[in-house]
Amino acid sequence: MKVMVVGGGGREHAIIKALKKSPEIEKLYALPGNGGISRDAECVNIGAKDIDGIVEFAKNTGIDYAVVAPDDPLVLGAVDALNAVGIECFGPTKAAAIIEGSKVFSKNLMKKYSIPTAAYETFDDMDSAIAYLNTIPAPVVVKADGLALGKGVIIAQTRDEAIEAVRSMMADKLFGESGSRVVIEEFLEGPEVSVLAFTDGNTLVPMVSSMDHKRAGDNDTGLNTGGMGAIAPNPYYTADIAAECMDKIFMPTVNAMKAEGRTFKGCLYFGLMLTANGPKVIEYNCRFGDPETQAVLPLLESDLFTVMRAVSAGKLSETEVKFADKHSCTLVLASNGYPGKYDTGFEISGECDTNASVYIAGAKREGEKLYTAGGRVLAVSCIGDTLKDAVDASYREAEKISFENKYFRHDIGARALKA
Ligand code: AMP
Ligand code: GLY
């Protein structure tokens, strides 16, 4: 079969490397992919948000199956457009992708179906939002309604900071139209867990849990990034908590989406916080997480393509989804300065052991050589019998890769090792 993956980051590279193992796939395309992905799939220069271009390419090339990985095309309706020309897809329709596309939608869904989440109010008028802030204590969390490249969340330590956050979103349009509505919510505390789950709209199968490391600096300091590393499984996520989440969060969400006429098929991502009052949903994503996918998929023993097709066919209950009983660590190598300003264009050299997976996020290729082309350049993922083995192996392997201005955190997995 001819399969295309929409997207072009480290997550897509991990998906492509997993799909490559499937005997059923003859040819893999990435739209647009990147210089590193071009070693594993044919990259086609069509942007992930160019829905018309994606559909045209798929029709003309005779694509049999499409995996739409990033949030933007999903929220824009890429799956609906591909389905309309008869192409089967992994990923939710536009109606279901709203679970990530609108925080107001997802918060209201959780309220309606009693799914545990932070208490909140929503506002589409700045004066009312500010009046409300004057009645509640800080810290408080201000969130733009729509997609904002993962940056639309401001944790305000004081009331003044919260008011400033609302002004920047609603008056100054810091995140464009995404901020024309805001959610103001209770500040929660506790370890965070990411759970990616396969669901066909009826059955849900959680993948191995994971922990992202969102801040740029060691010990969770500095700016928020797209993620500087991940480990899996997350030691805070015990079997008891997993059972509670299945019962109170995961299945209620799948059933709620179905009841709303928005059946969700694809990968549903639960961003959870394990609070003193039990697990609560911090966010939903309508897709695989980045960099969690780079830590989770290396542990998948089942054929990813078989699982994806079972999801889109509504036959997940008949399919085995098996993960290795091991540990995984993903270390992101970034360009110094990320998520702020950074220089690119430096040659990437070095080879990792064949047991390590290298997933390229931001690189361009010239001949056989790769050059840095993004903030997050690549991720090195290693598996071990213990978390410590996995973490040590990732750091050891990452040392073998060099490029000018290479930057990485030194404490990926440290918090988990202490748990
Ligand atoms: P989000 O984009 O919704 O995942 O939020 C980004 C990050 O902000 C999360 O990973 C949390 O660390 C933090 N965050 C979001 N909502 C809350 C909350 N209600 N209380 C505390 N931290 C939060
Ligand atoms: N790692 C967080 C995300 O993918 O949104």
Does residue 366 contact residue 309 with C-beta atoms inside 8 Å? Answer: no
* Digit-coded pLDDT (tens) for 238-258: 999 999 999 999 999 999 999
Which of 110, 117, 210, 273 to probe ligand 1 with, by most ligand atoms within 8 A of CB? 273
Report DSSP state, residue 412.
T
**Distance from Cα 282 to the centre of ligand 1, integer Å:** 6
User: What pLDDT, on a 0 to 100 scale, did the predictor assign at position 207?
Assistant: 98
Helices 126-133 and 159-170, packing angle to 10 deg: 170
The span from the CA of 412 to the CA of 416, in Å, is 9
**In this structure, which residue's CA is closest to atom 11 in ligand 1?**
282
**In this structure, which residue's CA is closest to atom 6 in ligand 1?**
153
Atom of ligand 2 nearest to the CA of 285: 5
User: What pLDDT, on a 0 to 100 scale, did the predictor assign at position 176?
Assistant: 81
* Digit-coded pLDDT (tens) for 362-396: 999 999 999 999 999 999 999 999 999 999 999 99
| pLDDT average, residue stretch 329-335 | 98
| pLDDT average, residue stretch 283-302 | 98
* Digit-coded pLDDT (tens) for 161-176: 999 999 989 988 888 8
Atom of ligand 1 nearest to the CA of 271: 4
Length of the chain: 419
**Distance from Cα 272 to the centre of ligand 2, integer Å:** 12
255, 345, 348 from 403: Cα distances, Å: 48, 10, 5
pTM of the entire structure? 0.95
- Characterize 162-191 residue by residue with b for buried, 16 or more Cβ atoms within 10 angstroms of its Cβ, and e for exposed: bbebbebbbeeebbeebbbbbbbbbebebb
Q: Is the peptide bond before 139 cis (omega within 30 degrees of 0)?
A: yes
Quick check: CB of 141 below 6 Å from ligand 1? Answer: yes
Classify residue 1 as exposed, middle or buried by CB count within 10 Å of its CB (0-12, 13-18, 19+): middle
User: What pLDDT, on a 0 to 100 scale, did the predictor assign at position 280?
Assistant: 98
The span from the CA of 361 to the CA of 145, in Å, is 27
With residue 383 as reference, give the H or E element that holds it.
strand 376-384
User: What pLDDT, on a 0 to 100 scale, did the predictor assign at position 35?
Assistant: 96
Report DSSP state, residue 121.
E
Secondary structure, 3-state, 298-359: HHECCCHHHHHHHHHHCCHHHCCCCECCCEEEEEEEEECCCCCCCCCCCEEECCCCCCCEEE
End-to-end CA distance of the chain: 44
**Distance from Cα 97 to the centre of ligand 1, integer Å:** 19
Reduced to 3 states (helix: H, G, I; strand: E, B; else coil), residue 131 is helix
Closest ligand, as measured to the CA of 147: 1
User: What pLDDT, on a 0 to 100 scale, did the predictor assign at position 152?
Assistant: 84
* Digit-coded pLDDT (tens) for 216-242: 999 999 988 989 999 999 999 999 999
Report DSSP state, residue 382.
E
Atom of ligand 1 nearest to the CA of 118: 19
Does residue 166 contact residue 126 with C-beta atoms inside 8 Å? Answer: yes
Quick check: CB of 271 below 6 Å from ligand 1? Answer: yes
Quick check: CB of 227 below 6 Å from ligand 2? Answer: yes
Residue 151 has pLDDT above 80, yes or no: no
User: What pLDDT, on a 0 to 100 scale, did the predictor assign at position 178?
Assistant: 80
Residue 149 has pLDDT above 90, yes or no: no
**In this structure, which residue's CA is closest to atom 3 in ligand 1?**
283
Which of 212, 270, 288 to probe ligand 2 with, by most ligand atoms within 8 A of CB? 212
| pLDDT average, residue stretch 30-48 | 97
Residues above pLDDT 90, as percent of the chain: 91
Reduced to 3 states (helix: H, G, I; strand: E, B; else coil), residue 271 is strand
The span from the CA of 209 to the CA of 242, in Å, is 9
The span from the CA of 295 to the CA of 109, in Å, is 30
**In this structure, which residue's CA is closest to atom 5 in ligand 2?**
289
Quick check: CB of 150 below 6 Å from ligand 1? Answer: yes
14, 256, 292, 417 from 231: Cα distances, Å: 15, 30, 7, 10
Which has the minimum average pLDDT: 103-117, 136-150, 271-285? 136-150
pLDDT-based confidence at residue 292 (cuts at 50, 70, 90): very high
**Distance from Cα 23 to the centre of ligand 1, integer Å:** 40
Atom of ligand 1 nearest to the CA of 214: 10
Quick check: CB of 150 below 6 Å from ligand 2? Answer: yes
User: What pLDDT, on a 0 to 100 scale, did the predictor assign at position 172?
Assistant: 85
**Distance from Cα 88 to the centre of ligand 2, integer Å:** 25
Quick check: CB of 234 below 6 Å from ligand 2? Answer: no
Show the CA angle centred on residue 167, arms to residues 163 and 171, nearest 5°.
160
Atom of ligand 2 nearest to the CA of 227: 1
Does residue 290 contact residue 10 with C-beta atoms inside 8 Å? Answer: yes
Residue 47 has pLDDT above 80, yes or no: yes
| Cα dihedral 19, 20, 22, 24 in deg (nearest 10) | 100
Q: If you average pLDDT over every residue of the chain, what do you get?
A: 96
* Tally of CB atoms within 10 A around 268: 27
**Distance from Cα 26 to the centre of ligand 2, integer Å:** 30
User: What pLDDT, on a 0 to 100 scale, did the predictor assign at position 146?
Assistant: 86
* Digit-coded pLDDT (tens) for 174-221: 888 887 899 999 999 999 999 999 999 999 999 999 999 999 999 999
14, 174, 207, 329 from 299: Cα distances, Å: 11, 39, 9, 10
> Strands of 363-366's sheet, edge to edge?
347-348, 369-372, 363-366
